Structure 1
């Protein structure tokens, strides 16, 4: 599913597409103070272009570049030998009430295993910004990936992002609350969809990951805070389409440009890499009240059917990722299990599919690994919760609502790093909860 130009225009989002960009002048965008290793270190809003690499395969990739509208540049790719790649296409996304826009650039005919440089060229073809990146081998039996959620830029911690980049993951998954739309300033109050663009802009101008010298492919879905506000659903927020368009504008995950990646209903998406499949679910576009017992109260009907079809048609192991938790019934937090109509029916359907599923989630502001008993899915599996990279956390938070499935837990700011291997029908993963200063909060191995 690809959003059409008329959908953006209905929401006041202007879009233009060109084969190349030709803009000869450059308006300075501000200072970009860097640390010795080339990574910025300030927890402040920055006018240096904020760059994100998105869906990528062995020869193609796409980028989301946020910058001030006055900053004019061409975008190209080079390698160490000086060869030059022009973009296949460039898109511009902007809102009339914001001084910042998104430029999306798409490249192809790259090479696996080679170091490339994304260059933004200003006046006289001067390089005004350079980022290093590579392509993604979708056929590797072993993958390294990070799970990240809950990124309140008001509590931004640059060092944890620097630690993540230093781990050299193949891909990073944002599984919810990458932006807190109900926080921060601006002239628009809660309930006004124009606030969404401004809040996403502020997060993109702050988070260290968007200023890393070395880019890593990022695939994202959302939860309540980047959908609208705390615990928002379709009964309390009437601008679901506006939220979808806003979210998709800021990431670089257009369908059809790369192998392995596809979009699902709403902002859901899928990435297939060898015997690994990652489903990033949309837990807001059809979500009903937290007390609803409706059959499709959590994901809706079409998305559930899409997920079951993707799982049944894939021979390897599926990582099913959701913004809020799947199994625990926390006293003070949402979960799919609190929508028993869809939860029970979905688990019953999974039992009938001869495939393996591992679950991942965020939201709760602590990370944990839970052992899921065979009675739920027909085989022993796990739910891996990753939260928060930087948000409100305090010791003892996890004890407010303990549960018997929990194996290990931390309330330190962290992300989850996973090295997983799928061979001969056996899925093995080494899992680490990582914080800044190379601290490992817990680690374990799971086999499914």
Structure 2
């Protein structure tokens, strides 16, 4: 089979899969999982046919997918890929560009520069900020915190690039008591010992309490949250950030999904967030682009560009080249699906998508209460945190839901006890899917 025929066959299989999303089990059944054993084979001595490889991948692999690209997946904030973003991704794969700089790919550099400008406009963040398109909020948090540490040390007269950390002034890290694990991971990888992290107490809703904010100084990094992962709550930025800035601290905001509230009528939840020094957010969550696409945004563009610079004698580029704003030197142009999503939605479409999901989350909460569940959060965003009558029933309902194949969401621990968490973030999710979820949850509680 020649290349074009093979690619056409792959396209046909991919289209068939997409067409089947509404009727597939959201989580594979036991037979599909058992079918994965077909992939447990020895490395071939001689290569096998590409068409046979594609057939195996589709027949055994497609059956064992989690249909997070469908309308009834509510686990984590994972948006289905918008048609424009998915189509752009397909063409981008055909281009096969190394998107490190303009010299490597003029089209990628141009589109990612435009996407960066549009992201800042949509999120109403300082327009001269740097935007690096990375793989995930984890990687983008790491780059922002690396830039933060380097900048704070420079203010103390310490040359981090030349002298490293041995003997350097200590940089203090203050994070929310409920900081996301990706923030903790980034800190650990950067060498901030977990025993050294200072935790800021939170209130009953999961917001950092300004009255209990640990002392900050000009050698401090304060990490806040836009969208706590369980409750969807926002730290009180308008109070906390001025305190931090007055002390000379760097403020970073983890806004993996919640930062997008700023592009909608829910923007008041983010009041004051624009005063921070850096922000991270994902496109593959609420903007509904394909994985893996996230953004590191830094108010001081030079700080990020200097920290991430990877110019070499054989490969130099402008300060805003993506290889100088992200961890990757050789990289795919992740900003292109962002460009396509924003162009196809426009400001109004982004706002409508976010606002619809938040309305749907409110409807889920109302339905769960009517069915006898205890809703634990204020449902200010797209997250619904809830429990059944007792811990055992909570676990039983979650397991039954996941086994049903009709929908999927996960469990969590809230204030020391099991809970369940529903996230509404897919453009495919209609009101009929919300109603079906509510009815299913009612039946499961009765039978658990």
TM-score of Structure 1 vs Structure 2, range by shorter chain:
under 0.3
Larger helix proportion of the pair: 2
| TM-score, normalisation: structure 1 | 0.27
Structure with greater strand percent = 1
| Rg larger in structure | 2
